[in-house]
């Protein structure tokens, strides 16, 4: 069933049997842009099927025992604290990975795209083009940092610190590598090595993998679990950090897909390498959650 009236691009896609391609790619095809051809479009769709089967079925995307447990909201205070501490280490190390990604950018456009994310992380709110109500509070999840103002309390790390404080953790208890488990540090180092790496195709593969993991629904599981924890314990952990990131991911997924298609049409992409490094990144992600899962089992008896 089609919810929208058929556009000329839909008709074009059907005639050439290339349904599933993003709108920007279809547009580039009809305009005959460099690198775009029907033949290549069909090759891409075959590649996409390989990605779906050989990368996006990674266990950390399809089945994450930790977030499934977390969603039940039955955490004891030690388990919640441990979770926030590990997340705060990741949050800080992500800044380093993102900085590396920015430095390794090979076009001004991709340098800016990385810079947007980095600046937003440390406290520059996105300015939405449409002035929505989301501009209040934590700020919009879309738009640009261009012309926007820095504010300390817009730093994502500070949102985590709010939760930490509510849990009676001190600033010095969170955020640093020394607080990370081996699994968390392994994940962070993989992010720096692959996502922030100097090989553009590897970093794009890692980016694609990370974005698809992030869009797979774990933020919602964490939010559900934290809300249940709040209801059960009467604690009022501020959930802004998690709610904001969940909203952000919904928009990211579509954008990531368009980026991959552009890369495929305009550069020679090594398909085998892309799938290999995407999986390597997801193994790093899985290590993070596996570490949390082990830790919460160890802490189950702690009272």
Q: What share of the chain is helix, strand, coil (3-state, %, to 5)?
A: 70, 0, 30
List, in sequence order, every residue forming a beta bridge with 127; answer none if it has no partner: 144
Binding residues for Fe ion, rule CB under 5 A, total 1
**Which residue, 211 or 261, is less far from Fe ion as judged by CB?**
211
| 151 torsion bin: left (phi>0), alpha (psi -120 to 50), beta (else) | beta
**Which residue, 160 or 209, is less far from Fe ion as judged by CB?**
160
List, in sequence order, every residue forming a beta bridge with 150; answer none if it has no partner: 124
In the complex, what is the shortest distance from the CB of residue 121 to Fe ion, in angstroms, rounded to a whole number? 5
Candidates 9-17, 55-63, 156-164, 189-197: pick the segment binding Fe ion (CB under 5 A).
156-164
**Which residue, 25 or 221, is less far from Fe ion as judged by CB?**
221
Interaction pattern, residues 108-147, with Fe ion; x per rule: CB under 5 A = ----------------------------------------
In the complex, what is the shortest distance from the CB of residue 178 to Fe ion, in angstroms, rounded to a whole number? 21
In the complex, what is the shortest distance from the CB of residue 120 to Fe ion, in angstroms, rounded to a whole number? 7
| Among 91, 85, 72, 67, residue whose Cα is nearest residue 219 | 67
The secondary structure of residue 106, as a DSSP letter, is: S
- Three-state secondary structure call for residue 150: strand
User: What is each CA distance from 109 to 22, 114, 121, 194, 287, in whole angstroms?
Assistant: 20, 9, 19, 20, 32
Does 156 contact Fe ion by CB under 5 A? yes
Cα(183)–Cα(47) distance, integer angstroms: 32
Candidates 39-47, 79-87, 144-152, 153-161: pick the segment binding Fe ion (CB under 5 A).
153-161
Candidates 4-12, 49-57, 149-157, 277-285: pick the segment binding Fe ion (CB under 5 A).
149-157
**Which residue, 101 or 156, is less far from Fe ion as judged by CB?**
156
In the complex, what is the shortest distance from the CB of residue 29 to Fe ion, in angstroms, rounded to a whole number? 35
**Which residue, 37 or 151, is less far from Fe ion as judged by CB?**
151
In the complex, what is the shortest distance from the CB of residue 156 to Fe ion, in angstroms, rounded to a whole number? 4
Backbone φ and ψ for 88, nearest 5 degrees, come out as -70, -35
**Which residue, 58 or 156, is less far from Fe ion as judged by CB?**
156
Residue nearest to Fe ion (CB): 156
User: What is each CA distance from 218 to 31, 62, 68, 221, in whole angstroms?
Assistant: 39, 10, 9, 5
The two tokens of residue 97 are 């990975």
**Which residues bind to Fe ion, rule: CB under 5 A?**
156
């Amino acid at each position: 069933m089609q919810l929208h009236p058929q556009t000329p691009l839909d008709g074009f896609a059907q005639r050439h049997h290339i349904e599933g391609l993003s709108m920007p790619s279809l547009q580039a095809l009809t305009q005959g842009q460099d690198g775009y051809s029907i033949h290549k479009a069909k090759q891409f769709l075959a590649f996409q099927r390989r990605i779906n089967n050989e990368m996006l079925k990674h266990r950390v995307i399809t089945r994450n025992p930790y977030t499934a447990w977390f969603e039940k909201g039955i955490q004891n205070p030690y388990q919640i604290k441990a979770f926030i501490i590990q997340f705060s280490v990741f949050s800080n190390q992500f800044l380093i990975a993102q900085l590396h990604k920015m430095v390794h950018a090979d076009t001004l456009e991709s340098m800016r795209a990385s810079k947007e994310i980095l600046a937003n992380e440390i406290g520059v709110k996105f300015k939405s083009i449409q002035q929505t109500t989301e501009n209040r509070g934590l700020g919009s999840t879309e738009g640009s940092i261009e012309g926007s103002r820095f504010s300390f309390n817009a730093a994502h790390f500070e949102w985590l610190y709010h939760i930490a404080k509510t849990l009676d953790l001190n600033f010095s208890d969170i955020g640093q590598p020394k607080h990370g488990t081996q699994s968390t540090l392994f994940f962070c180092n993989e992010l720096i090595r692959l996502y922030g790496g100097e090989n553009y195709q590897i970093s794009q593969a890692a980016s694609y993998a990370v974005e698809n993991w992030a869009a797979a629904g774990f933020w919602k599981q964490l939010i559900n679990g934290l809300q249940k924890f709040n209801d059960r314990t009467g604690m009022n952990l501020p959930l802004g950090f998690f709610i904001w990131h969940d909203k952000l991911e919904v928009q990211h997924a579509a954008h990531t897909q368009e980026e991959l298609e552009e890369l495929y049409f305009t550069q020679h992409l090594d398909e085998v390498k892309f799938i290999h490094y995407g999986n390597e990144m997801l193994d790093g992600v899985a290590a993070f959650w596996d570490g949390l899962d082990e830790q919460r089992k160890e802490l189950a008896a702690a009272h």
